[in-house]
Amino acid sequence: MRRKIFEKWLKENTNLADGTINSYGSAITTVSNFGLGEKIISEDIYGVKDIAVLNEIINLLESSELYIEKNLVSKRRWSSALEQYKQFTMAVGQMANSNDLDIKDTLNNTYLKLEFEQWLGEQIQSNGSPYSPHTQKGYIYALEKACSEIENLNLENDDLFTVGSVDEFKKIDERVRTNKDFKRVNEKFGNGQLSAGMIKYGEFLAERETKENSQVEVNNMLENQYEWTRFYEETAKALLEYKDNRLELMDGISKIFNKIDMKNPLMKKLADGKEEVLTDVCPFTVFGLFNKGITNKNRILIMEELADLLGVQESVPTSFDGIPVLNNMKSWFFGGEDHRKETDIDNLWMLFECAINLADDYTAENKHSFIEIYDKVINQHGIQWNITFGLYWIRPWDYLTLDNNTRTALTEKLKIKIPRNSAKKMCTGTDYLGLVEMMKEKFDDEDYPVHSFPELSYKAWSGEIETRIGATVSPFDIPTQVEYESYTKSDFLSDVFISEEKYETIKSLLKRKKNLILQGAPGVGKTYVAKRLAYSIMGKKDESKIKMLQFHQSYAYEDFIMGYRPNETGFELKEGPFHQFCKIASENLDEDYFFIIDEINRGNMSKIFGELMMLIESDKRGEEIILTYSDELFYVPENLYIIGMMNTADRSLAIIDYALRRRFCFVELEPAFETEAFKKHLLLQGASEDLINKIKMRIGSLNLEIEKDVNLGKGFRIGHSYFCNYVDTDKWYEEVIKYEIQPLIKEYWFDEEEKAKNYVEDLLR
């Protein structure tokens, strides 16, 4: 829309040829290709209406060698276009602020005519077809010129595109239609195009006004909907007073959790297994105490006590729409003592203070201070996109949260590129503030789907932002954020027949090595354990962060990473599941992702992983390489964990090669018939103790025979999962033996049929 207005202004105010005008209009759109513009803008600068911001962009561009070179080659096309756009921006600003009614009418005419033209092009006639370009031009010409030919009409302005109010247009419409000369002029202008055009223009104004009124209602609702912002801002202001008095702050927080009888999240585990309160904390972690996966009841309780401690007078909110929350398992903004430097927490307090100062007083000096400390903080342990959550919490109208939902909404719906120039593939301080400034510019556009950071965050979480191309603002509904079922270590130990000590070992190995293989006999529950291990580390049953697939002998790099696949016209390059999942994980570095591979030893690992075999190593995560079939720089993110499953009884497999063994930890899963957890599980399902003892004794005896057999061994034992789904029928045990265990026994002793038969009979007697 603004490009059309700019080009119209050029046509009416310069002597430029039509081709040059079109070239200038296009040049403004492509300014961001010179790189420096991305510090402030996204795709083009038609959203920039502030002359100061425009001057800043021009200054940045003029310092770019690429821009200077390309501008000279194009005979100063870009600089000439920018100069004209600068003049246009100043002219529009002057018109908007002018008290001269003629100038106001000119501005109205320009905007309303183009708006109406676009609106009319989207309308459908009663016969089901759109209005032809000829009809559209006829309506527009009649609305603009016809009234000047009606005798004794005496309108203040004969151009109907200067009328923007429904009530005003109704009065003019009546005056025009009741004039004695109306019929003659209406027939003269395309045989009725004035009358038809006025009908459509009235509909257009009514729809436009309804939309504006709706937006006013929405804005009023937003003010109430985001009442939480006042409490959060006041809490941040009060918390800053404790920057140099953190021991008192920690003492106060400890008393709060003792008072409300909740476990204090700010505890560290000692070598002897005991816990003690941290001696220091950052302000963002304090905010995280009430911005994580807890019930609203507990959230409000913590906020009330914290407000009392800090002396916050603002009422505690009861609605939390549009607030990103932390994973309960990762609610600190700093690492443990082994993973943080002495300055890490001090740096977080400095960023907290600089962010408040910049929000309250947006000066060049404050901006420089913010960028400097932000760039230090994002390289610290424990910092990913979560730091933008914290900035949003403390000043929600000034800073943008870049949680996963918001990043998705920005890139996929609003078509905005998020710069990632830091070592961790995130925004630098300059990137982040540039994005913030650019979004504030876009919020000023009444047609933009969102108009504030809280609204953006809310709609990103509730899924209400429509794609920017042809975007419309959808009505507000109750948020539909998915809430995942919690899953803790206790849940794992209850579900899986593994000791707590072994669980902690497996978890530690996976977190350290990032690649783990669960191996064992058939039926020991390898897949079951793998998924629940992932759940327990995430703290929730979130299937969207788990990807499962199975390897086979013919599986290849082209299936797994990337390769050419046939389509209707020939071949196309397609991403494989691992490539896709790595990209998803890299978009959300503050969450853990798990890639689970069944029958991992059935595939040729070197053939499947190719050049990525090296990058899956824990100390190579984040390193980029160019892929075989693409010029794309690709890396395996640190937050992606690979869990493989290996059936040790599979005779068809060769010994695992060294390349695989060196990059994975291997954990053996044992049959669990002897565990109390297995017995308890079957008792809860209604099985009798006699039946449980029979299973334990007979399968246990068979497993001893299997283990002693020189052609078999421990890896061929029968696992407990065959007997985990008890059904209260007389034939359940017999059916499991005949149709699940017997085929295995026959395969094990395929050349000793009599021995196999005797073992089955022993199980069934």
**Single-letter residue type at 708:** K
Domain boundaries, the chain: 2-97, 103-225, 228-462, 489-669, 676-764
Name the token pair of 281. Answer: 């904390």
What pLDDT was estimated at residue 503? 93
What pLDDT was estimated at residue 510? 94
**CA 202 to the chain's CA centroid:** 42
Architecture of the CATH domain 489-669? 3-Layer(aba) Sandwich (3.40)
DSSP string, 404-438: HHHHHIIIIIS-------STTSS--HHHHHHHHHH
What does the alpha-carbon distance between residue 290 and residue 299 come to, in Å, rounded to a whole number? 5
What does the alpha-carbon distance between residue 418 and residue 407 come to, in Å, rounded to a whole number? 8
The H or E element containing residue 168 is helix 166-178
What pLDDT was estimated at residue 214? 62
Give backbone dihedrals phi and psi of 520, rounded to 5 degrees, phi first. Answer: 165, 175
Write the DSSP symbol of residue 124: B
Q: Do 640 and 593 contact (CB within 8 A), yes or no?
A: yes
What does the alpha-carbon distance between residue 66 and residue 58 come to, in Å, rounded to a whole number? 14
Q: Do 422 and 27 contact (CB within 8 A), yes or no?
A: no
What pLDDT was estimated at residue 259? 94
**In 468-576, alpha helices (H):** 489-495, 500-513, 526-538, 557-560
Instruction: Please classify residue 288 by burial: count the beta carbons closer than 10 Å to its beta carbon, then call 0-12 exposed, 13-18 middle and 19+ buried.
Output: buried
What does the alpha-carbon distance between residue 680 and residue 688 come to, in Å, rounded to a whole number? 11
Name the token pair of 715. Answer: 């890896």
Write the DSSP symbol of residue 484: P
What pLDDT was estimated at residue 12? 77
Q: Strands 515-520 and 275-277, how do they pair?
A: unpaired
What does the alpha-carbon distance between residue 157 and residue 152 come to, in Å, rounded to a whole number? 13
What pLDDT was estimated at residue 426? 86
What does the alpha-carbon distance between residue 85 and residue 438 come to, in Å, rounded to a whole number? 18
> Which residues, 6+ apart, have CB-to-CB distance to 557 below 8 Å?
563, 607, 608, 609, 610, 628
Q: Which of 99, 10, 93 is nearest to 52 (CA)?
A: 93
Q: Which of 48, 56, 32, 40 is nearest to 90 (CA)?
A: 48
3-state class of 507 per DSSP? helix
Give backbone dihedrals phi and psi of 359, rounded to 5 degrees, phi first. Answer: -65, -35
| Angle, CA of 469, 475 and 478, to the nearest 5° | 120
DSSP E strand boundaries for 305-368: none
For the chain of 765 residues, list the mean pLDDT of each consecutive stretch of 10: 72 80 74 49 58 76 71 72 81 56 50 81 84 89 91 88 88 92 89 89 87 60 73 95 94 94 86 83 95 86 95 89 79 85 95 94 89 94 91 95 89 88 86 92 83 89 55 31 73 89 93 92 90 93 91 88 82 88 83 92 84 86 81 83 88 59 88 88 87 90 90 88 82 90 90 89 86
What is Dmax (Cα atoms) for the chain? Answer: 116
What pLDDT was estimated at residue 467? 45
